[in-house]
Structure 1
Amino acid sequence: MYRTKDKLYIVMEYIPGTTLGHLWPSLPENDKTSLLGQLRSIFADMRSLPSPGFYGSVTQGPVPHRYFFSQEGNPAITGPFTEEEDFSKAIALRSSQIWSDRGRHGWTSDFLARHLPSALSGHQPTFTHGDLYRENILVKKAKDSTSGVEEYSIAAIIDWETAGWYPSYWEYAYIFPLFQWVDDWPESVERIIDPWPLEAALLRFVQEDLEF
């Protein structure tokens, strides 16, 4: 990205590949195992980046996720946050804001305010992609330089708009409510990143409150 006097340019690179979502139903188990291993290594490297001591965007700005949106730019909702407690309180405040905009009292907001900060605690800021869909993973097939056998490899991970520093549970717990449960993908995600089932259950409740 660069700017001239009156224009902002974003330089993008085209990376050929097929989405993992398209390939997944037809992949044999050995190819799935290989790709999941590659993804686990990639995400482990990302998650091992040193914590910056805050929850927010990579530029130490507001949390880049719609759960932390505030029309008025209220920093108690948008962040960034130095404490996980404030990160959790922000979700409750966002819920209250949504219900207020509908002209109703947010009883679920009250529940979140009472319990979310204590239920979601002890999670360090962790670099998070934030949108672990199969459709955001590009895969390519090429011959191994040593064996000459064609193998699948990860070409790229795309859609980084919500990436940032989140509590360590977020990568798994946020995607959990979006699983379709029609194949082995939910189980396979546990081979990419460690599961956070309790946090995931709470995030499912949050999603139902904020998005329905």
Structure 2
Amino acid sequence: MRLILLGPPAAGKGTQAERLVEKHGIIQLSTGDMLRAAVAAGTPDGLEAKDLIARGQLCPDDLVVKIVADRIEQPDAQRGFILDGFPRTVGQAEALERMLEEKHMELDAVIELVVDEDALLARVEGRARDAAAAGKPLRSDDAPEVVARRIADYREVTSQLRPFYKQHGLYAAVDGMAPIDEVARAIDEVLAEAQASA
């Protein structure tokens, strides 16, 4: 099973991806996590990404595509994967399509967690307050003002992916504001339909 989870920051993609990993025995490929790991390791890719991530800006396509391509080639990705945070642009989606064709793979579904942006920002601000009250550090890219900018980027750039994946017959929307269990059931229904029609 190979799928993409779309949605702005704090929409719940990580929560749903964890559940799918456990249920289906596949892996989650989060470009955010991969980029942060590269930053922590001080790799050339990480150094290039470091300032962009801290400001909540999108990394250039070639950098992200390179990291994802390398990761998909690793043995633990052969059984299937969830892409979280990639692709973010039509250019990345086209690069992913070419990459998968070369590897004789294809996507099963592209699922977007659709959310209310104002409610989402209120959720992020609440998390920031909770972290501060607990004395926990806040990641620079989780600061409310940075998340607001990332949501704007998501709306302007990633929204182009809807028509792209609709044309490919892969796109499905799920209400990301619903309770976690309801979101999970809706995702399972989409995947069951995708597998039945494969």
Q: Name the TM-score, length of structure 2 as normaliser.
A: 0.24
Which one has a larger percent helix, Structure 1 or Structure 2?
2
TM-score by length of 1: 0.23
Structure number with bigger Rg:
1
Structure of higher RCO (CA pairs closer than 8 Å, 6+ residues apart) = 2
